[in-house]
Amino acid sequence: MSHATTAPHDSHDHAHHPSGILRWLTTTNHKDIGTMYLLFALLMFFVGGAMILAVRVELFQPGLQLMKPELFNQLIGVHALVMIFAALMPAATGFANWQIPLMIGAPDMALPRINNLGFWLLPPAALLLTLPFILALFGIGDGAVATGWTLYAPLSVQGGLGVDFAIFSIHILGISSILGSINVIVTIFNLRAPGMTMMKLPLFAWGWLITAFLLIATIPVLAGAVTMLLTDRHFGTHFFNAAGGGDPILFQHLFWFFGHPEVYILLLPLWGLMPHVLATFSRKPIYGYTAQVYSFIAIGLLSVVVWAHHFFTAGMPVPALLYFMYSTMSISLPLAVLFFCWIATMWKGSMSFETPMLFAQGFIVLFGIAGLTGLVLADVAADAQYHHSYFVVAHFHYALFAGGIMGVMTGVYYWLPKWTGYMIDEKLGKLHFWLTIISFNLTFMPQFFVGLAGMPRRIPDYALQFAEFNAISTVGALILGFSQLLFAYNIWKCMKGDAYGLPKAESRAWEGGESLEWELPSPPPHHSWETPPVIK
Amino acid sequence: MKTTDATDHFARHRHPRATRTQGLLAALAAMLVPGTAMADYTWNFPTPVTPIARDTLKIHNEFMIIIGILFAVVFAIMIYSMVKHRKSVGHAPAKFSGPTGAIQWIWALVPFAILLFIDFVIMGIPAYHAVIDMEDTKTKADMVLKVTGMQWKWQYEYPESGVKFISNMSTPRDQIANKEAKGDHYLLEVDNEVVLPVGKKVRILLTATDVIHTWWVPQFGVKRDAVPGFLRETWVKIEEPGVYRGQCAELCGKDHGFMPVVVRAVPEPEYAAWIEKKKGELAAAAAGADKAWSKDELLAKGKEVYEAQCAVCHQPDGKGMPPAFPALSGSKIVTGPLLSPDGKLLKDSHVDRVLNGKEGTAMQAFRNTLNDVELAAVITYERNALGNSKGDLIQPAQIKALR
């Protein structure tokens, strides 16, 4: 091939890629893939949100108004699966794609083609999960998986074709997660800029590294569990059937061996993000870097040995109850270290309260409620009352909405100027923050009380003494849901910054930003860090 | 604290709005004074009536105070910092990135030590004793109650006296569909309450026939899964007579929200009398199996059984909810042969399906839960109503012989 016809190029700033849909199908660029992950997560956040708004409207009053219990059961389970696997996890992977190379001085992710595959597995998986709803409209099957996201056998053995769709969807999502994790690990281990030792690695990358290891350790267990479920359903095995020598509780052990670490899988990248945001807006170095790294590792290790606290009421020997109770309580220790470091990072700083900082601080306070209620849930005796009740629903939404989703929003607002080259609309961002935080508490605070008063979770209709709290909760949920349209609008505005006259972002979009991504222009060139920076 | 409504706390008390607000304010005041009776308000656990529930409430209230203090202290520090250390008041940022010097190390380690103490001493030790107590189902147990969860009702059995019955939700479907005003015990009422003596330690054995259910009465402070194929156990010692209401707490399929638990606790003599009455009813039912029933008698009884046991899935008109719950009207199985010419059970026939259920589906083996008369009646009814008109019938005595 002759080079004579090829135009010489000195700069790699412009992209060499096909245009149109083919660009997005074939891209191996970490920024393109990161963007696709994030937009996919945003879309699925609204899909999962719409499902649960329908549920909340049904629960506005006692009695069945909107839907039959069958559909109710489908919506609650698919809501959870969509939010966890198709919104929160892809959002975190989107962050990893965009930010890990920028923050460690790498030109791209280490395995770009695997990166592309990892993303393009997601849309078919999401389709499989939600397709049974549509099939049911045409009289095929009886709708989506109706067992809750936990898929407990034997209810899931009994279920309709929605369960099979969910099993295959989980397999594909799991493969996607494992590919993403391998990529993160290989990138962090091999592509760090010269001089960046592991103990100089940004905390965001550390959080993601632990998440990646947890995913690789636990996803295969989940895959095994759902495969056993599949063979119980169709091939006459009896893993979960006592009549054939199996045990239904075995499924719960396998599921939660994955399910508990999953909580930290979702949260560790965001715990990694927090110190960056807090340090930036406090204009002060991160406090206790080493302590945070070791806390991440400790939480990662503890997370795989506490799973049975998710089913204390299933009946376990006393020594097992005591072990899982105390080991669960001990997670509060490394977590307290993180809280201490977050607050100490702000302490004696020079704080300003831009939207990302507000979300970070809201995250800390509300996630604090999740942590503290988690501590009491660990108590086996009290758990007998909390378990399976709305108290638990409130607890894990403080962890996964206030911790997870608001953590993701922190990151999006923090990095949008870097990604798009425009500063965010602060006014709109602050409005979004205050609406979110008020309506979130309006939604979930009453659920603690209604749970204590004895309302079980996952019921489509309830006794009359729960009516007031449920009505408040539904009003809160509707405000919360519709407020999120502001979030989408704000992102859209930032992407089309020129049209809305937003100010251009400088390289260091936030005055206090210290990590490597702030050394690059905003937005960074299509190929960045082709010459790695040297870390002293 | 004993109040007039302690016996039936789960009933809704329709306070006028003002009283509710006063109640809430009083409750908020109670929060500020540790140890006062928070339990009388619906935003905490309902009034406990067993030793376990009392312990649990005490532990819970203590924990809530502890985590409330932790929350207040930690975020007071954070808010102080947010007010004082802000750019807009001209605070210059410090440069430290970790503890420097002994004093700062103490500041960093003391909270950690306090948490360690809270986790494993203040919370850990009472929790240990509570667990041991809760799991001790056998010591000095006075009697046994066996609870079997099934979609979507509970079966109760008293092994000592042989009494056994099914407890179904009795709230009319029209109330759920908003066609009729909702009663005071909406969704928390049953046709057959389970009766237990006050002051006796009752060992409760739990199992299930189909999927996992969870037996929960909030005022007892116990919640335990009923796992198919396994026995789980817990215990209660009810201290006050009354009616206590709860419900299934583990998602168990479409009518999970509609399988309440209602326990009536009565003094010992009243309990003994109730057991005798139940025994009499069972004996009468068993005797019924030996007489020959007319078709009209069977149809009348069958309609009653069908509506209580079958209509929830197969629907009152027999049209079912395919594909999960097949129609009985015109069904091949229902309109198939009744028995083999020599009176034996045919595999996958109508009688076989009702008696033995179908594995892997919600269709359960009713031989375990219905008596001979009920089985014969419901089979006869299904074959001659719901749009079917086979014209044949099966006698309770025939069912008895097939068992």
With beta carbons less than 8 A apart as the criterion, state whether B206 and B226 touch. Answer: yes
CB contact under 8 A, B67 and A379: no
Domain with A431, as residue range(s), is 32-519
Token digits of residue A208: 């993601």
- Overall CATH class of domain B143-277: mainly beta
Report if residue A182 sits inside a domain.
Answer: yes
- A68 Cα to chain B: minimum distance (Å): 9
- B172 Cα to chain A: minimum distance (Å): 11
How far apart CA A58 and CA A66 sit, in angstroms, is 6
Among A525, A532, A531, which residue's Cα sits nearest to residue A14? A525
pLDDT score recorded for residue A293: 97
- B375 Cα to chain A: minimum distance (Å): 24
Give the best residue of B85, B148, B174, B236 to mutate against chain A (max A CB count within 10 A).
B85
Report if residue A356 sits inside a domain.
Answer: yes
Token digits of residue B61: 């209230």
Chain centroid offset of residue A291 CA? 24
Backbone angles phi, psi at A169, to 5 degrees: -60, -45
**A534 shares contact with chain B (CB less than 8 Å):** no
pLDDT score recorded for residue B28: 47
> What is the average per-residue pLDDT within A142-171?
93
pLDDT score recorded for residue A14: 54
Confidence band (pLDDT; 50, 70, 90) for A127? very high
How far apart CA A103 and CA A202 sit, in angstroms, is 7
pLDDT score recorded for residue B177: 92
What share of chain A in percent tops pLDDT 70? 97
CATH number for region B289-402: 1.10.760.10
- CA–CA distances in Å: residue A62 to residues A343, A492, B214: 43, 39, 22
Alpha-carbon radius of gyration of chain B:
28
CB contact under 8 A, B218 and A454: yes
Q: Is the pTM of this model over 0.95?
A: no
Residue of B nearest to A341 (CA): B98
- B296 Cα to chain A: minimum distance (Å): 35
Burial A83-115 (b: 16+ CB within 10 A, else e): bbbbbbbbbbbbbbbbbbbbbbbbbbbbbbebb
Beta strands B143-150 and B202-208, pairing class? parallel
- A451 Cα to chain B: minimum distance (Å): 8
Strand partners, B197: B266
pLDDT score recorded for residue B77: 95
- Number of folded domains in chain A? 1
CATH number at residue A252: 1.20.210.10
Which residue has 């849309």 as its token pair? A123
The answer, yes or no, to whether residue A452 has pLDDT greater than 80, is yes
Amino acid letter, A44 = M
Report if residue A257 sits inside a domain.
Answer: yes
Report if residue A407 sits inside a domain.
Answer: yes
CB contact under 8 A, A315 and B233: yes
Token digits of residue A27: 């891209």
The answer, yes or no, to whether residue A142 has pLDDT greater than 60, is yes
Beta strands B153-158 and B202-208, pairing class? unpaired
pLDDT score recorded for residue B358: 85
Give SS3 for B393: coil
- Per-residue pLDDT of A273-306, as tens digits, reads 999 999 999 999 999 999 999 999 999 999 999 9
CB contact under 8 A, A73 and B251: yes
Among B160, B170, B166, which residue's Cα sits nearest to residue B200? B160
* Residues of B in Cβ contact (< 8 Å) with A311: 225
Report if residue A396 sits inside a domain.
Answer: yes
Q: Where are the domains of chain B?
A: 4-135, 143-277, 289-402
Give the best residue of A464, A473, A510, A514 to mutate against chain B (max B CB count within 10 A).
A464
| H or E segment and range at residue B155 | strand B153-158
CB contact under 8 A, B85 and A346: yes
Report if residue A178 sits inside a domain.
Answer: yes
- CA–CA distances in Å: residue A80 to residues A83, A393, A479, B55: 5, 11, 20, 34
Residue of A nearest to B223 (CA): A384
Nearest to A348 among B85, B248, B360 (CB): B85
Residue of A nearest to B217 (CA): A454
Helices A89-104 and A112-120, axial angle in degrees (round to 10): 160
Report if residue A8 sits inside a domain.
Answer: no
pLDDT score recorded for residue A22: 87
Give the best residue of B14, B59, B73, B81 to mutate against chain A (max A CB count within 10 A).
B81
Beta strands B222-226 and B213-217, pairing class? antiparallel
Question: What does DSSP assign to residue A358?
Answer: H
How far apart CA B295 and CA B309 sit, in angstroms, is 20
Residue A130's contacts (CB-CB under 8 Å, 6 or more residues apart) are: A47, A78, A82, A144
CB contact under 8 A, B10 and A287: no
Nearest to B131 among A142, A148, A380 (CB): A380
Strand partners, B206: B147, B232
Q: What is the DSSP string of B50-92?
A: SHHHHHHHHHHHHHHHHHHHHHHHHHHHHHHHHHHSBGGGTPP
How far apart CA A117 and CA A123 sit, in angstroms, is 11
Residue of A nearest to B83 (CA): A351
Q: In what order do the strands lie in the sheet with B232-236?
A: B163-167, B153-158, B143-150, B202-208, B232-236
End-to-end, the C-alpha distance of chain B in Å comes to 52
**A311 shares contact with chain B (CB less than 8 Å):** yes
pLDDT score recorded for residue B357: 86
With beta carbons less than 8 A apart as the criterion, state whether B365 and B357 touch. Answer: yes
* Residues of A in Cβ contact (< 8 Å) with B187: 62, 461-463
With beta carbons less than 8 A apart as the criterion, state whether A269 and A208 touch. Answer: yes
**A340 shares contact with chain B (CB less than 8 Å):** yes
Question: What does DSSP assign to residue B44?
Answer: S
Angle value at C-alpha A399, between A255 and B98, nearest 5 degrees: 115
Higher pLDDT, A14 or A337: A337
pLDDT score recorded for residue A15: 58
- CA–CA distances in Å: residue B295 to residues A512, B375, B383: 88, 14, 12
Strand partners, B260: B247
- A243 Cα to chain B: minimum distance (Å): 7
Nearest to B127 among A249, A332, A381 (CB): A381
Residue of A nearest to B219 (CA): A454
pLDDT score recorded for residue A503: 93
The one-digit pLDDT tens for each residue of chain B (403 residues) are 334 344 444 444 444 444 444 545 444 444 444 333 333 346 789 999 999 999 999 999 999 999 999 999 999 999 999 999 999 999 999 999 988 889 888 988 898 899 999 999 998 999 999 999 999 988 889 999 999 999 999 999 999 999 999 999 999 989 999 999 998 899 999 999 999 999 999 999 999 999 999 999 999 999 999 999 999 999 999 999 999 999 999 999 999 999 999 999 999 999 999 999 999 988 888 777 788 888 888 888 888 888 888 888 888 888 888 877 888 888 888 888 888 888 888 888 888 888 888 877 778 888 888 888 888 888 999 888 888 888 888 888 888 888 7
CB contact under 8 A, B256 and A463: no
Neighbours of A478 (CB within 10 A): 17
Residue of A nearest to B179 (CA): A63
- B402 Cα to chain A: minimum distance (Å): 22
Backbone angles phi, psi at B306, to 5 degrees: -60, -45
Neighbours of B280 (CB within 10 A): 10
Residue of A nearest to B251 (CA): A458
- Per-residue pLDDT of B236-279, as tens digits, reads 999 999 999 999 999 999 999 999 999 999 999 999 999 999 99
pLDDT score recorded for residue B399: 86
How far apart CA A242 and CA A234 sit, in angstroms, is 17
Among A90, A31, A108, A47, which residue's Cα sits nearest to residue A415? A31
